[in-house]
Amino acid sequence: MPPFIRHRASLEHDTGFGHPERADRVRAIEAELEGRDWLGWEPVEAPEATEEQLLRVHPREYVEQVRAFSERGQAFDLDTATSPGSYEAALRAAGGACALVEALLAGGERTGFSCLRPPGHHAEAATAMGFCLFANVAIAARHALDALGAERILVLDWDVHHGNGTNALFHDSCELLFASIHQFPFWPGSGPLSDVGEGKGEGYSINLPVPAGTGEAAFLSLVEHVVTPAARQYRPDLLLISAGYDAHRDDPLGGLALETSSYGGMASRVRALGDELGAPVGAVLEGGYDLRALASSVAETMAALADGAVPTDVARHPLAEQAAELVGRYWEL
Ligand SMILES: [Zn+2]
C-alpha cells in the first residue's frame, strides 16, 4: 500500500485568523480521504526531521531561529507566521518528506504522498517566506542524494507559485533537474523562462512560466512535451512532485484555471514516466487554498499515482513550443 504520510502536529501550526495556509487544509484533505477509505493507501505518522537532514540544506543558526520564532509565535514576514506548535510541525513536514523518499528508495513502493504543513518550496537556505519554514522537498532530495544512494532527482513543481526555494538551493547543481510550471508574472517574481540554472547546473532548471488564465491544455503539454523528454534524457532515480493545488480555477490566491481532473492528468503522466525510467514517484504537499478543490485534487492525484494507467496523448500547446525553443538548447525535445 502506498504511504500517505501525515501527523497531527500539522494541525498545531497556527498562522492566525483568516490566513489561507491553515490547519483546515489538512483536515479537509483527510476528511475527503477518510470518506473514500484512504483510497487504499496506508496512513503513516511522519517522523521529525533529524538535525543531519536539516543541516544539509539550512544553516544551524537558521534552524535555531525557526525554533526561537515559533516559541514566541513571532512572524518572519507578513505572510509567514508562526505559533508555539510551528517548530514541531515544520520538523515533521521536512521529516515526512524524508520518510517518503526512504520508503520509495527502499524499493517496495512505487508512489507515496507526504501531506503535511507548513509547505516548503519557497523557503531558502536561511530565509523563511511564502508560508514556508523549512525547504521540505529540497531536504528530502538532499537526503536521497547524500544518504540513500540516489544520483539524479527530478522535481516537478506544479504549484501556481514559482518554487524559488528549491530552485535556488539546487541552482548550480546537476544532481537535481528542477521543472516548475507557474503563473508569471506573479509572486514571488522569480522563475522566468530564461532562468536555466548556473554553473554546473546550467540547463538543469526548467522554468515554465504561464500567463494568468492558463488551463489544463498548456499544463499537460508542458509536462508531456517539455518536462518528460528532458527527464527521459536525464534518467532520474527518483521523481518528486512539489504538489501545490493553487493553480486550480477555484483557488482564491492563484489566477490559473486547472480543473480537479487536471491533477489526475498530470499525476498519471509523472507515474508513467517513473514506470518507464524504473523510478518511484513521491508527492509532497505545497499550496492550495480552496478547501474543496484542494481535497478533491489531492485525492485525484493519489488515485492517478496509484493507478498507473497510461495517459492519452495531448496536443502540443503554443506555450510548450515557445518553451522548447530555449529548453531545447539543453535537452532534445
Ligand atoms: Zn503556491
pLDDT digits (tens, 9 = 90+) for 187-245: 999 999 999 999 999 999 999 999 999 999 999 999 999 999 999 999 999 999 999 99
Range 1-29 average pLDDT: 98
Mean pLDDT, the chain, whole residue set: 98
| Percent of the chain at pLDDT exceeding 90 | 98
Mean pLDDT across 172-184: 99
- Cβ burial, residue 139 (10 Å; 0-12/13-18/19+): buried
The span from the CA of 287 to the CA of 283, in Å, is 12
> Do 172 and 200 meet the contact criterion of CB atoms below 8 Å apart?
yes
pLDDT reading at 3 higher than 90: yes
**Cα–Cα distance measured from residue 177 to residue 109, given in angstroms and rounded to the nearest whole number:** 22
Q: Residue 304 Cα, ligand 1 centroid: separation in angstroms?
A: 21
pLDDT of amino acid 333: 94
Residue 197, exposed/middle/buried by CB under 10 A (0-12, 13-18, 19+)?
buried
Q: Which pLDDT value is given to residue 309?
A: 87
Q: What is the pLDDT of residues 303-317, one digit of tens each?
A: 999 998 889 999 999
Per-residue confidence band for 42, with pLDDT thresholds at 50, 70 and 90? very high
Instruction: Please give the distance, rounded to the nearest whole angstrom, from the Cα atom of residue 161 to the centre of ligand 1.
Output: 4
Q: Give the pLDDT confidence score for residue 205 in this predicted structure.
A: 99
Dist. CA 191 → ligand 1 center (Å): 13
234: amino acid identity, one letter: Y
Question: Quick check: 283 pLDDT over 90?
Answer: yes
Report how far ligand 1's centroid is from the alpha carbon of 143 (Å): 24
82 to each of 65, 111, 131, how far by Cα in Å? 11, 31, 9
Q: What is the mean pLDDT of residues 91-120?
A: 98
d(C-alpha 177, C-alpha 207), whole Å: 11
Q: What is the Å distance from ligand 1's center to 282 Cα?
A: 18
pTM over 0.85: yes
What was the pLDDT predicted at 49? 99
Instruction: Indicate which residue of 122, 171, 182, 317 is catalytic.
Output: 122
Cα 66 from Cα 54, distance rounded (Å): 12
Q: Quick: pLDDT tens for 234-257.
A: 999 999 999 999 999 999 999 999
Active site residue 122: yes
Give me the pLDDT at residue 56, please. Answer: 98
Indicate whether 144 pLDDT > 90: yes
93-122 mean pLDDT:
98
User: pLDDT band at residue 134, thresholds of 50, 70 and 90?
Assistant: very high
- Cα distance between residue 55 and residue 38, in whole Å: 33
What pLDDT is attached to residue 308? 84
User: What is d(CA 267, CA 262) in angstroms, rounded to the nearest whole number?
Assistant: 9
